[in-house]
Structure 1
């Protein structure tokens, strides 16, 4: 009887300690990855103005933010899966790919969009005016073959141009290459790269050269504005760090509002942060362009997912864009 009572007392003591102990602290260091281009401006403003740290302090957290740089989404996804990255930022293609692959384990989902921006397929080959003009002598540079948003959009365009079942017709011409290197390769004229499916500001800079011309606009392919870049994370990280995530989304919204309210300041900040040789006026023009929407609201995510389902890239189905995202932007009217 005494031994039994002792066991109960010991258990009660352990339980009491467990109930009175403080909850596990949220992470003190957050690792965020982004890629190249002015499309990551909301994150650049967040980094330079230390908005994440500011909003974290408002949540009672003192965090350190590590900013990492990748040239494509596949590398970020590998880092996320291996536990070496907390928040990834990239195109729709890589996000939907990892979303589809992880729904039975770490369940990666979107956090928020960064923008809606058109992507241009630019060429310096005078013989090319449409997708039908590309030949085996051309090479199209894009961030990552098969999975980048540029690669997926090119397939969707090929399907429209050449007919059902022909979505991969131009795939043999594509080459994985970061935007800065792709721009240099195509405009240098000494490589096999004759076209670049890029993003801002690379596409605008390329089109300033009289040799370059736009072959394709992603808005035409999708039938209107679509999300270009967004942020994603694992369910484990989001669930274990609610205050961190609340601070991140608040910082992102803060950044977006700063960009909209003062495009000139945002342009100057980006030029300095990226050590870019681009004129501040040109950067401001891109930021102000009516087709470029700085927003956390996802657009046409389902259009991309529907194609990736049909193409066999993503097995997971979603009924609504909200199935692809955490409930961190509840008032957004996405698609």
Structure 2
């Protein structure tokens, strides 16, 4: 994996150096700081949870600015991928970290964006405290299943599990209620308002540590293999019109992933305040089995194929290149004849 990351980094570094190279160096007497209004800008959208740890580390360590001095980064937080879609449509966001399904919904509706990087592979699951719910077939009238929004990765994973267990991907759609993860986790732990919560770290870890709460659906089993919980997406304008900002974004994410993987104790110290946790608990969550920060995406085509067949989107990408920018495609590998690369195979469900 380090070789693929290196190759992608070299591609992006070339973009960065080419885009940033001036036509001619100004005389020393003429050099002056650029006005603030002319400074390059990057507007990033994020949500809640440990999946966004790379952004927190990059923000605190100025990792994007390292590759583009003077870069002004604007941080925006949203409660769901659907809200991020709306922000992109309104021209308020250049890049985001989000789940593959809401990204695909936006792509299907014509939002001009593609995947710029993988972000993380993490354990997701559906938890409940109710003794009479042992499997998906036990949900009945009055029960409520919380996830961030229809079309979220949690919703789609639940649909995959429902297709396997109940015979229909939409069998549980009427039980769904949209709630931000912090609110839903608090409700589940207090055993109020909802019957179950499909969530991600650290909220599923907190829920499973509470008395009486257990998991009834494992996200990896629902999908059939590992998948990227989150990916980084970037607008067409950012990629084509501001390549130096795009390159700084992707290279900064790569640095953040390496920092978390190689220095988890230092990362826990940075992240703990964001989650109102002590450093020891944060480190425990960062190193929980199944936690993996990686810039290689997994499952892009697997999610799209399922969502088309289940009716959540109308159009399926023909290849990874339809939904990912060149640096991702070069990392994953182009299909050669009938022999796809190992990383290309990981884009599909088994």
Taking structure 2 as the reference length, what is the TM-score of the superposition?
Answer: 0.82
Q: Which residue of 1 aligns with 2:302?
A: 303
Establish whether residue 215 from structure 1 lines up as the match of residue 216 from structure 2: yes
Q: Which residue of 1 aligns with 2:66?
A: 54
Of residues 155, 164, 174, the one that matches 2:159 is: 155
In 2: Cα distance, 1:280 partner to 1:134 partner: 37
Q: Which residue of 2 aligns with 1:140?
A: 145
Establish whether residue 201 from structure 1 lines up as the match of residue 238 from structure 2: no
| Aligned ranges 1:24-39 → 2 under 5 Å | 28-39=40-51
Q: Report if aligned partners of 1:253, 1:296 keep a CA contact under 8 Å in 2.
A: yes
1:248 Cα deviation after fit: 0.9
Q: Which residue of 1 aligns with 2:53?
A: 41
In 2: Cα distance, 1:109 partner to 1:26 partner: 26
1:246 Cα deviation after fit: 0.8
In 1: Cα distance, 2:38 partner to 2:50 partner: 31
| Aligned ranges 1:165-244 → 2 under 5 Å | 166-191=168-193, 193-244=194-245
Give the CA RMSD over aligned residues. Answer: 1.9
Q: Report if aligned partners of 1:80, 1:88 keep a CA contact under 8 Å in 2.
A: no
1:206 Cα deviation after fit: 0.6
SS of the equivalent of 1:89 reads: strand
Establish whether residue 325 from structure 1 lines up as the match of residue 324 from structure 2: yes
Q: Report if aligned partners of 2:123, 2:218 keep a CA contact under 8 Å in 1.
A: yes
Displacement over 3 Å in runs of 4+: none
1:292 Cα deviation after fit: 1.5
Cα deviation, 1:56-88, whole Å, max 9, x if unaligned, reads: 12xxxx211011111101111101111011112
Q: Report if aligned partners of 1:249, 1:328 keep a CA contact under 8 Å in 2.
A: no
Q: Report if aligned partners of 1:46, 1:255 keep a CA contact under 8 Å in 2.
A: yes
SS of the equivalent of 1:331 reads: helix
SS of the equivalent of 2:317 reads: coil
In 1: Cα distance, 2:287 partner to 2:187 partner: 28
Q: Which residue of 2 aligns with 1:5?
A: none
1:313 Cα deviation after fit: 2.1
Q: Report if aligned partners of 2:39, 2:72 keep a CA contact under 8 Å in 1.
A: no
Find the structure with the greater CA-based Rg. 1
Establish whether residue 130 from structure 1 lines up as the match of residue 129 from structure 2: no
Structure 1 residues 126 and 325: alpha-carbon distance in aligned structure 2, compared to 1, 3 A threshold: same
In 2: Cα distance, 1:27 partner to 1:195 partner: 46
Q: Which residue of 2 aligns with 1:13?
A: none
Q: Which residue of 1 aligns with 2:261?
A: 260
In 2: Cα distance, 1:27 partner to 1:230 partner: 27
In 1: Cα distance, 2:309 partner to 2:50 partner: 31
In 2: Cα distance, 1:140 partner to 1:65 partner: 36
1:26 Cα deviation after fit: 8.3
Q: Which residue of 2 aligns with 1:118?
A: 123
In 1: Cα distance, 2:201 partner to 2:303 partner: 20
Q: Which residue of 1 aligns with 2:105?
A: 97
Q: Report if aligned partners of 1:118, 1:226 keep a CA contact under 8 Å in 2.
A: no
Q: Report if aligned partners of 1:33, 1:67 keep a CA contact under 8 Å in 2.
A: yes
In 2: Cα distance, 1:196 partner to 1:184 partner: 10
Unaligned runs of 5+ in 1: 1-19
In 1: Cα distance, 2:131 partner to 2:174 partner: 21
Q: Report if aligned partners of 2:40, 2:245 keep a CA contact under 8 Å in 1.
A: no
1:282 Cα deviation after fit: 2.3
Unaligned runs of 5+ in 2: 1-22, 25-36, 333-342
